[in-house]
């Protein structure tokens, strides 16, 4: 009989870890022994704490869902973002290598500058234009330089029924306001955290060793305006939604204008099918309604 695979999941309160936990609660992770740690229970910026955690448990995998993701706040909280996204990633990579643990790390489309006109492949040059993007890319490099057994999964526009995200913000604002303006000149792909969680579970269950960097988002392309309109339509919210240019709504952190990810590598390597973002959004909206 196949033994269970012990997995450490960091950042347990975040939307991706919560999605992995949902799969476990639904009985979709039967071969896995999942151990969830919140940032208070395991501070990945504390090397000694990380070492102690790994030495006390016989983990086979570590899924790093801990990350500093406040894109605008990172512009002024540079050191905190660096500690979590770079130092934390390095600490996990070093400790994973020492303990023969495979590291699955979540990165972002924000490592790219957005000046390209075709979907980004894994080998495209990273040119982050924000502190957040810069720290996430340096975190990737810290992993590559310190362990060989890793999967770095770059994703985009993550949302779910859990935590804070664009979908939930739009639903709240749609119920509070009569009109809203959303940018139409930033293009990417919304990604349902539950879909990404399923891919992570699949990687672990199949014990795949095709290590490296992979892009994963849902299929299709959208602007933030398109995303917002589809959320309102799917939630039966009537609102006067206006498309605006990014310069009309200035934010502390610069965003890539185009950050669509090419998913050919992950589909071909692991034989997975990726749902379209609109189909997954419908599923997420139903999940939000069930929580209310």
- pLDDT score, position 78: 97
CATH topology of domain 5-160+190-219+259-275: Rossmann fold (3.40.50)
121: CB partners within 8 A, 6+ apart: 215, 262, 264, 265
- pLDDT score, position 289: 85
CA angle 96, 78, 156 (to 5 degrees): 65
Q: Which residues are catalytic?
A: 132
Beta bridge partners of 159: 192
- pLDDT score, position 267: 97
- pLDDT score, position 1: 44
Contact 143, 89 (CB under 8 A): yes
* Chain Cα centroid distance, residue 258: 17
Residue ranges of domains in the chain: 5-160+190-219+259-275
Q: Which burial class, exposed, middle or buried, applies to 227 when counting CB atoms under 10 A from its CB (0-12, 13-18, 19+)?
A: buried
3-state secondary structure 45-90: CCHHHHHHHHHHCCCCEEEECCCCCCCCHHHCCHHHHHHHHHHHHH
Residue pointed to by tokens 């290590």:
211
Angstrom CA distances, 185 to 62, 75, 182, 246, 249, stand at 37, 22, 9, 7, 11
Q: What is the pLDDT along the chain (292 residues), one digit of tens a residue?
A: 467 999 999 999 999 999 999 999 999 998 999 999 999 999 999 999 999 999 999 999 999 999 999 999 999 999 999 999 999 999 999 999 999 999 999 999 999 999 999 999 999 999 999 999 999 999 999 999 999 999 999 999 999 999 999 999 999 999 999 999 999 999 999 999 999 999 999 999 999 999 999 999 999 999 999 999 999 999 999 999 999 999 998 899 999 999 999 999 999 999 999 999 999 999 999 999 887 6
């Amino acid at each position: 009989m196949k033994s269970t695979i012990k997995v450490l999941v960091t950042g347990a309160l975040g939307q991706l870890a919560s999605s992995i936990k949902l799969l476990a609660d639904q009985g979709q992770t039967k071969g896995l022994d999942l151990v969830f740690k919140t940032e208070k229970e395991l501070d990945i910026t504390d090397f000694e704490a990380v070492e102690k955690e790994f030495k006390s448990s016989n983990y086979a995998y570590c899924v790093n869902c801990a990350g500093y993701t406040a894109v605008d706040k990172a512009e002024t909280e540079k050191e905190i973002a660096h500690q979590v996204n770079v130092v934390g990633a390095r600490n996990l990579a070093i400790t994973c290598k020492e303990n023969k643990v495979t590291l699955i790390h979540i990165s972002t489309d924000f490592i790219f500058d957005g000046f390209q006109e075709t979907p980004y492949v894994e080998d495209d040059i990273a040119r982050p234009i924000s502190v957040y993007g810069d720290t996430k890319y340096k975190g990737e490099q810290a992993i590559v330089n310190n362990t060989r057994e890793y999967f770095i999964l770059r994703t985009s526009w993550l949302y779910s029924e859990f935590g804070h995200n664009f979908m939930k913000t739009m639903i709240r604002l749609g119920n509070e306001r009569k009109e809203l303006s959303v940018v139409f000149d930033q293009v990417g792909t919304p990604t349902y955290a539950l879909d990404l969680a399923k891919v992570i579970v699949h990687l672990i269950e199949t014990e795949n060793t095709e290590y490296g960097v992979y892009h994963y988002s849902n299929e299709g392309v959208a602007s933030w305006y398109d995303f917002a309109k589809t959320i309102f339509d799917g939630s039966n919210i009537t609102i006067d939604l206006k498309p605006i240019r990014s310069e009309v709504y200035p934010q502390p952190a610069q965003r890539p204008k185009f950050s669509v990810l090419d998913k050919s590598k992950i589909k071909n390597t692991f034989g997975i099918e990726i749902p379209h973002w609109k189909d997954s959004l419908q599923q997420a909206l139903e999940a939000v309604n069930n929580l209310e």
